[in-house]
């Protein structure tokens, strides 16, 4: 999946704050693929999509939303066949997203309605009287059971990705990655779940505040170490200076102009082609763990100038303080969510606790109630999150255009062409429904980004650039 929202698994991640932990690729049509991890990044690819009659994508566009432009990158253009595939693939993703929400909420509700959460609690309490050990039994069983029941949605999305040639990952490899992701998720959930219920018992009225205060540094630490210990679990990395020293030299020019200090030994090549046809380049980590990552697909399929624009966009997120702002936004939302969870938990237990066989907030089985509350909260807050992200992504587009100006000839055309090929190769929706854009899109629609990149030129108008003077 690409630019857009995330899955019901992400709503569990929001509850535990793990959105900081699993950085991944951009999302467009939200789906249930757990590998996406919902960290949005700029993606681009290569080659003209009009003119050469020998390629499929060179067929003239025949649909109103993507009419032929005066030049190949003034507008987002697709061949008729490619247009149909892009619409079908994107719309399938939208539908699957909402199915995943309903499924996620339904599973947790059924766990409560039929007393499954209470039975898991009883099982843990029969095995041991020590509360700590009960948590070590109850939390993994509950979290993994929910994940297992959501697996069919993940399986279907991966089958769609294979059918539309967005993924090349075999089923064995995909399932192994799913198991790795579940193991990480369960492990972090256990740590935070034990902390949560310790605080509920110690401070029944203020646990929501103390949990927020304790969870944030833990999650930030996991985000800090993820480039070293989590990312390599899913992908292979090697020094970029060893494979593409000339690209490293070019990236250094951009980092210097952007005011970023990233040594050559902090730039890496990721072997993404083993699992996906998409391309990407990004900056990840913070402090000592900060690094540049370029996917091998990017180097193989784009020009160096296009790669520099992609990197310039990502550099903008750091220079413009988006990592800091994103963390503050998340922290604020997380604080509101914990307080809402505290208030709603009491209301739910007073009304339905007896039917669910849950005897109070300190009861292990109340975790299922909190999951239900926070899944609903995260779903309702998705438009706010998407709007915040779209704003930052647009600013990063501006920064990317400005930072490569003078380094890359005809930088606006380079950026516009990158967006054109992104749409062609990644089947970006040429005309997403306004409601879907409002609710799901964490980036502006690709067609809008392309037009902006092609037209943004403050230098020729005697105006001052917004960020890079």
Within 13 A of 388's CA, how many CA atoms are on the CB side? 16
Number of other residues whose CB lies within 10 A of the CB of residue 256: 12
Strands 281-284 and 291-295: antiparallel
Tokens for 53?
């009659």
Q: What element of type H or E holds 335?
A: helix 322-356
Percentages helix, strand, coil for the chain, rounded to the nearest 5?
65, 5, 30
Counting every residue written for the chain, the total comes to 469
- Rounded to whole angstroms, how far apart are CA atoms 299 and 308? 11
DSSP 464: P
Rg of the chain taking only CA atoms, in angstroms = 23
DSSP 358: -
H-state helical runs in 114-244: 116-127, 131-163, 171-202, 207-229, 231-234, 240-243
Tokens for 150?
């959501």
* 129 labelled catalytic: no
Helices (H) and strands (E) in the chain, counts: 17, 4
| Residue among 72, 150, 182, 314 flagged as catalytic | 314
Residue 423's nearest CA partner among 39, 32, 5, 48 is: 48
Q: Known catalytic residues?
A: 314
């Amino acid at each position: 999946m690409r630019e857009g929202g995330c899955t019901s698994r992400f709503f569990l991640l929001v509850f535990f704050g793990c959105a900081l932990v699993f950085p991944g690729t951009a999302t467009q049509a939200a789906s249930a693929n757990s590998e996406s991890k919902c960290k949005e990044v700029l993606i681009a690819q290569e080659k003209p999509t009009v003119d050469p009659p020998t390629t499929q994508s060179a067929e003239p566009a025949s649909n109103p939303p993507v009419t032929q432009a005066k030049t190949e990158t003034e507008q987002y253009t697709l061949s008729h066949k490619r247009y149909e595939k892009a619409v079908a693939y994107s719309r399938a993703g939208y539908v699957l997203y909402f199915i995943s929400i309903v499924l996620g909420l339904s599973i947790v509700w059924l766990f409560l309605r039929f007393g499954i959460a209470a039975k898991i609690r009883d099982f843990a309490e029969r095995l041991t009287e020590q509360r700590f050990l009960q948590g070590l039994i109850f939390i993994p069983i509950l979290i993994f059971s929910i994940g297992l029941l959501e697996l069919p949605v993940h399986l279907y999305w991966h089958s769609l990705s294979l059918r539309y040639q967005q993924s090349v990952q075999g089923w064995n490899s995909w399932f192994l990655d799913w198991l790795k992701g579940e193991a990480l998720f369960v492990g972090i959930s256990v740590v935070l779940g034990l902390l949560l219920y310790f605080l509920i018992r110690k401070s029944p009225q203020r646990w929501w505040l103390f949990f927020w205060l304790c969870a944030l540094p833990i999650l930030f630490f996991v985000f800090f170490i993820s480039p070293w210990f989590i990312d390599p679990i899913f992908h292979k990395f090697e020094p970029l200076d060893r494979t593409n020293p000339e690209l490293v030299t070019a990236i250094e020019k951009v980092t210097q102009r952007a005011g970023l200090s990233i040594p050559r030994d902090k730039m890496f090549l990721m072997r993404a082609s083993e699992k996906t046809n998409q391309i990407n380049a990004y900056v990840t980590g913070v402090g000592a763990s900060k690094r540049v990552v370029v996917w091998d697909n990017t180097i193989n399929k784009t020009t160096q100038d296009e790669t520099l624009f992609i990197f310039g966009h990502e550099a903008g997120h750091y220079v413009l303080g988006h990592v800091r702002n994103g963390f503050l936004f998340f922290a604020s939302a997380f604080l509101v969510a914990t307080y809402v969870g505290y208030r709603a938990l009491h209301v739910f237990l007073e009304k339905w606790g007896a039917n669910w066989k849950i005897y109070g907030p300190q009861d292990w089985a109340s975790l299922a109630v909190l999951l239900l509350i926070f899944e609903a909260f995260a779903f309702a807050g998705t438009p706010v999150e998407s709007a915040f992200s779209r704003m930052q992504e647009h600013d990063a587009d501006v920064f990317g255009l400005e930072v490569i100006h003078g380094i890359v000839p005809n930088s606006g055309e380079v950026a516009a062409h990158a967006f054109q090929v992104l749409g062609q190769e990644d089947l970006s929706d040429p005309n997403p429904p306004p409601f879907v854009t409002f609710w799901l899109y964490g980036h502006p629609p690709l067609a809008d980004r392309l037009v902006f990149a092609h037209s943004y030129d403050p230098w020729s108008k005697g105006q001052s650039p917004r960020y890079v003077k």
